[in-house]
Amino acid sequence: MAAAGDGKAMIGLLVLFVQASLYFWAMALVFRARRRLGVGVFVCCLGVMHFLETYLAAVFFIQLPFGLISPGSTVLFSGKLAMILLLYAKEDAETVRQPIYGLLLGNCLLVLLAAILRFHSPVVLPDYNADLAFIDQLGLLMIWGTLLLFADSILLILLFERLRSLIRLPVFLYFFLALAIILSVDQILFYHGLKIIAGAPTSALEGGWIAKIGAALIYSLFIAAYLRWIEPAIAPVKNAQSSGDLFDKLTYRHRYEALLKTTGIDPLTGVMDRRRLEEIGAASAARAIVRKQPLSVAIIDVDHFKDINDRYGHLVGDEVLVKIAAAIKSGIRAEDHVFRYGGEEFVVLGEAMPREAALLQAERLRSAIPAAFGDSLALAPTVSIGVATGPLDGASFLELLARADSCLYTAKREGRNRVVGSDPTQHPTSSAQPAHGLAH
């Protein structure tokens, strides 16, 4: 009887191994042809088996000595993660995110379409009947599994690159360790969803985990063989760009940053950018001429900003710019506009603001900016400000900007941490306070 049980277990293990081998090497052939066929063929092959994978994970189990094993979870899901990691190793983050997002969106659409069918009763056929309850159950599992796949894939790639950047190991071990760790976490999370939705037995948790570790080992060996004999080598360690940059690419955050740039918002400080300054400045100058109103421009420059970066690092330097931008926005009128003009320069545009009001506002900003930092830095940042007001300082926006820039350089020559504005006789006048902070 024991011999019969052992024989059945061996057959079960053989079935899993044959299925894993067929899955990997068939997918590897499609992957190898991606230059000729296009990577989309590989991605479609990867995604088309998701329904079978989820179905088998929910209802089809093999009894092995260490527990119940699902080929859907052990072979197909683990294999999918392995293929995604191989795709990343040979391509890049922008390519590998396509199946990750495609599977997530496709399965959400599947459940939505199935839900719409409930508004109409199907025709009853003699031998076939629609089982919408089954579709609901499977749909929930597919979404849960795909959400896990989404997180697993991103974490898997980050972990893979982190391991490669920290320790020197045989290529096979990088794949195995990354897969084993992520699959272990996935097994715990997917099992609990499977138990709630489909009533999976407890023995499937431990058995599934052991099987997934075995799958990680087998697939890692397959990947190593593929990289040695079919498509040698993998790309250099990509973590040189930092895990944050890699995460941004995997999650499309860099596209968001690019979108901000095209919509006129500076991605770091949240104020408008130089392109928007040119557009709004020209329009404001035209309105000022028609309405016969003054238009004031103030250029704000952070004193000795390079010293801040050198002393505290560029991350702190970025935080300083963010805090200064916030202080400027808090210190201007609601109808004024603030822009990031350059690295550490900001521009404030005030329509219908006469020269005296512009100088007073600039002086308030000069005092408020260091105060915004409190004791967070040993030396609070200070600013120099140049102010120009039309029409006396210029009829066009570019003329006003150039005049304000000239006043700014006068402020710097006079010792920084001060406001300099053009007076009606075209002689810059300065408002300076006892210098402090990083101006010294």
The tens digit of pLDDT for each residue in 79-135 reads 999 999 999 888 877 788 888 888 888 888 887 887 888 787 777 777 777 777 777
The tens digit of pLDDT for each residue in 131-176 reads 777 777 777 888 888 889 889 998 998 899 889 989 999 989 999 9
Instruction: Count Cα atoms within 13 angstroms, Cβ side, for 346.
Output: 31
Name the token pair of 206: 């431990």
The tens digit of pLDDT for each residue in 264-291 reads 888 889 899 888 898 899 999 999 988 9
Helices (H), 264-396: 274-291, 305-312, 314-331, 355-371
266's CB contacts (< 8 A; 6+ apart) are 260, 272, 273, 339, 340
Delineate the domains of the chain, giving CATH numbers in brackets.
Answer: 2-119+129-251 (no CATH), 266-439 (3.30.70.270)
d(CA 321, CA 53): 50
CA angle, 189 then 191 then 197, to 5°? 110
49's CB contacts (< 8 A; 6+ apart) are 76, 80
β-bridge pairing 383-390 and 62-64: unpaired
Residue 85, pLDDT score: 93
- β-partners of residue 209 are none
Name the token pair of 207: 């058995």
d(CA 90, CA 226): 11
d(CA 306, CA 163): 34
The tens digit of pLDDT for each residue in 408-430 reads 999 999 999 999 988 655 545 55
Higher pLDDT, 306 or 123: 306
Helices (H), 332-391: 355-371
Residue 421, phi then psi, degrees to nearest 5: -130, 155
β-bridge pairing 418-422 and 383-390: parallel
The tens digit of pLDDT for each residue in 178-220 reads 999 999 999 999 888 888 877 778 888 899 999 999 999 999 9
d(CA 189, CA 202): 13
Question: What is the DSSP-derived secondary structure letter of residue 127?
Answer: S
d(CA 386, CA 363): 10
Q: Is 290 exposed, middle or buried (0-12, 13-18, 19+ CB in 10 A)?
A: exposed
Instruction: Count Cα atoms within 13 angstroms, Cβ side, for 417.
Output: 16
